[in-house]
Amino acid sequence: MNSFSTLSFLLLLVLPLLASCHEKQVYIVYFGGHNGEKALHEIEENHHSYLLSVKDNEEEAKSSLIYSYKHSINGFAALLTPHQASKLSELKEVVSVYKSEPRKYSLHTTRSWEFSGVEESVAPNSLNKDDLLLKARYGKDVIIGVLDSGLWPESKSFSDEGIGPIPKSWKGICQSGDAFNSSNCNKKIIGARYYIKGYEQYYGPLNRTLDYLSPRDKDGHGTHTSSTAGGKKVPNASAIGGFASGTASGGAPLARLAMYKVCWAIPREGKEDGNTCFDEDMLAALDDAIADGVDVISISIGTKQPQPFDQDSIAIGALHAMKKNIVVSCSAGNSGPAPSTLSNTAPWIITVGASSVDRKFLSPIVLGNGKKFMGETVTPYKLKKKMYPLVYAGEVINTNVTKDLAGQCLPGSLSPEKAKGKIVMCLRGNGTRVGKGGEVKRAGGIGYILGNSKANGAELAADAHLLPATAVDYKSGVQILNYISSTKSPVAYIVPAKTVLHAKPAPYMASFTSRGPSAVAPDILKPDITAPGLNILAAWSGGSSPTKLDIDNRVVEYNILSGTSMSCPHVGGAAALLKAIHPTWSSAAIRSALITSAELQNNVGEQITDASGKPADPFQFGGGHFRPSKAADPGLVYDASYQDYLLFLCASGVKDLDKSFKCPKKSHSPRDLNYPSLAIPNLNDTVTARRRLTNVGAPKSIYYASAKPPLGFSIEISPPVLSFNHVGSKRTFTITVKAHRDIMDRIPKDQYVFGWYSWNDGIHNVRSPIAIKLA
C-alpha cells in the first residue's frame, strides 16, 4: 500500500471517531426523585448501567459520566451523542433528557433594609419587643444557601464574632481549593463548595488567572448577594469615595451562609460582561444544598429565553427543595421593559422583581448656557471647578465605526486625537455602562456623561467609574444633545456627587426588571413581588474591582450594584426571618405571606410607578414592594403542597415530572393551583377559580371579602364572609370574573388589565392581584 493509500485508510478510520467526538455534548438525564431505598453507590451504579446501555463498553460509559445526582434529584449528566440521548429519552422511567446549553444561564447582574421597614434608625434599647428582627432573633441558626460566583471570606460581613455554634442539623462541607481551605469557613460561613465539571467539559480547564478553582469569589457578585441576604452588621461601611456610608447589614444578620459556586468567568471576555452557569453544575449544587440542610436558597441566576419546566434545571432543583420545605427565592431577570421576559416562573419559586430605594447619589451636570441637569454617580473622581469642552461621542469616533454604533462608546471606538481633554457624552444601548466610561478614559477624555435610552426612562444606575462621570435620564440626555448640536463651542462641568436620603418618590420599578406575563405558565401571575435592586450597597470581593474592568486596579470592601440579582437575596433574607419566627410554615405559606402583605404605594402615598413615572402594574411588581414586618403576621395564607404542584403540572401538560404520581383522569385548570394571585390569560365571558385560605392569625376571626375589578369587569367572591375557629383552620372560596359585553369589543385582545381582591378582619388585609386578558 503506498503512502497516499495508507493516509486515506487512516482518515477513513479517524474521521468517524472525530465526528462522534464532535457530536458529543453534555445532556441531563432526569428520572424524578429518589425514594430513599438505595445507597449512594447503588444509585451511581444504576446511572452507570443506563450509560452502558447506549455506550460501546464499560470504560466509555464510566468516562462519559459527569455528575450522578444522588440525594433528592435522581438523574445524571453525561457526554452523549444526540442519538444516545434520544435512545435514553425513549425509556419509560426517564422524565426528560435535555442538552446543557452553554451560556443558557447567567447571573442577573444597606439602606435597602431600613427602607423596607426591617430595621429602624433607633438606639438598641428603644427597640420594640414586636420588632421583626428581635422576634426572628436576627435569623439566628437559619441556614441560607446561595448559588452564585463564590464569596470573599475575609469580608467583615462574614465575621462570626458573637455567633454561636454551628447548628446540629448542618451536614455540609467546606471544600478546599485555590486560596481557600477549611479555615476560611467559620460559624457564619458554615459551608462552601464549587461545581465546575460542566463548565470545564465545554471550555476546557479553568484559566486560574481568570477565576479561583475554589469557592473563593474573583467576580464580586456572589459576595454581594450572600452579604445582602445574611451578612453581619458592619458599622461605617461605604462604597469607594464614601458613598452610602452607614451600617451594612444583611436581611438576616445572624443567619448562617453556605456558598455553592456554580458561575464562572467566560474565557476571552471581560468580567463586566457577566459570566456563565451550567445546567449540570447547578443541579449538582441544588442536590447537595438540599442534603446539606439549608432552610432557604437564594439564586440570582436565570435565562434570557423562557424554559419549559422539565428542561429548566433551576425549576427542577427548586421543586425538590420545596418537597423538603426549603424556600427558594430567584431573580426575575434584567430583560425589561419588554413584556414576557421573565426567568424563574415556576409557582414553587418566589420570583423577585427589582425596584429603587429612597437613596440617591446626586451629581448634576452644568452646561455653558447655565442649564443644570440632575445626574447620579458613585465615582470618587472629581473635576477641577471650571468648564470643559463637551462633545457627543458620535463626533469623536474612529473612521471605522458604523453610524448605528456611533454614540455607544464601545471599546476602541473613540479617537484619542478628538476626545482628549473633553467631557464625552455616550448613550446607553450596546455594551456596559462602566465599559463606556473605560473607553472614554482610554481615549483621554476628562469626563463622561451617560445618557439613558428611551427604554431606560428616568432610572439611573450609579456606577464607580474610572473618571469623573454622571448618568442622566432620557429627557435630560436629549436636551444635552440639543445643546451640543446647537452650540459652536459647548462646555460643561460635572458637579461631584453626594449621597441624599429620603428621596421621593420611592420605590419605583427599575426599567431593567423583567416583566410578565409568564411565557411558560400564563395562568400564574409573575413576578411575585419586588424588592430593592437599584444601586444596592453590599460586600465585594478583594479579587475584583468595583467596575470589573481589566483596566481597573482598585480594590474595595463594599460596592454598589444594580439588578434583580440584588433584589432576590433581599427576599431570601426576609424568608430566613420568617422561617425563624414560623419554623413550621411551608415554603408556600412564606411566599403567600410576602405577596399578600406587600405595599402598593410609594413614599408620597401614590401607586408605585415605573422608571418614567407611569403607574406600574403586577407584571412588574407582583403583589407589591416587600414588607417583611407585615409578612410576619399575614393573618391568612394560601398554602400549597408538593402534590398541588404536581396537579398544576398535570393541568399544564407536564405529566411525568414525578413518575410515582399519576395525573388524574379528570382534567384540572392550572389556575386552580392555590396561589396568592390570579392570572386569566384567555377570558371568554366568565371564569371561576377556587382558592383555600389557612388561618395563621387570631384563633377566632372573621374575614370580609372586597374586590377592585378592572373597568368593564366584575369580580364576585363567594362566600363573601369567612369564619375561622382556630389557628390552622381552612376555608375555601371561589372567585368569579365576568367581562361585561359592552366593554369586550373596546379592550384590545392582547392587552392585560389588572385588579385586586382582598380579605380583611379589621387588622389584616390579605390582598391578591388579578391579571386578565380577553380571549
Catalytic residues: 148, 221, 565
DSSP assignment letter at 140: T
Let me know if 59 is exposed, middle or buried by CB neighbors in 10 A (0-12, 13-18, 19+).
exposed
CA–CA dist 41, 367 (Å, integer):
71
CA–CA dist 770, 676 (Å, integer):
10
Phi-psi domain of 18 (left: phi exceeds 0; alpha: psi -120 through 50; beta: other): alpha
Is the alpha carbon torsion for 123, 126, 132, 138 positive or negative? positive
SS3 call for 485: helix
SS3 call for 36: coil
Count, residues in the chain: 775
Contact residues for 413 (Cβ-Cβ < 8 A; gap 6+): 393, 397, 398, 401, 405, 406, 439
CA–CA dist 48, 61 (Å, integer):
7
Single out the residue of 699, 706, 773 nearest to residue 739, CA to CA. Answer: 773
For residues 771 and 619, the answer to whether their CB atoms sit within 8 Å is yes
CA–CA dist 527, 511 (Å, integer):
14
Single out the residue of 99, 101, 104, 89 nearest to residue 31, CA to CA. Answer: 89
Please write down the long-range contacts of 132-138, taking CB distance under 8 Å and 24 or more positions apart: 132/577, 132/581, 132/628, 132/629, 132/632, 133/253, 133/577, 135/580, 135/581, 135/632, 136/252, 136/576, 136/577, 136/578, 136/580, 136/581, 136/632, 137/254, 137/580, 138/252, 138/253, 138/254, 138/255
Report the relative pairing of strands 765-774 and 753-760 from DSSP bridges: antiparallel
Report the relative pairing of strands 636-637 and 686-695 from DSSP bridges: antiparallel
For residues 570 and 626, the answer to whether their CB atoms sit within 8 Å is yes
CA–CA dist 64, 80 (Å, integer):
7
Going through 375-495 in order, the beta strands assigned E by DSSP cover 375-376, 388-392, 423-427, 447-451, 469-472, 491-494
For residues 523 and 671, the answer to whether their CB atoms sit within 8 Å is yes
Contact residues for 295 (Cβ-Cβ < 8 A; gap 6+): 142, 143, 144, 326, 327, 576, 579
Residue recorded with cell 435630560: 476
Residue recorded with cell 434520544: 86
Show the 3-state SS of 286-355.
Answer: HHHHHHHCCCEEEECEEECCCCCHHHCHHHHHHHHHHHCCCEEEEECCCCCCCCCCCCCCCCCCEEEEEE
User: In what side-by-side order are the strands of the sheet with 25-33?
Assistant: 65-69, 73-80, 25-33, 96-99
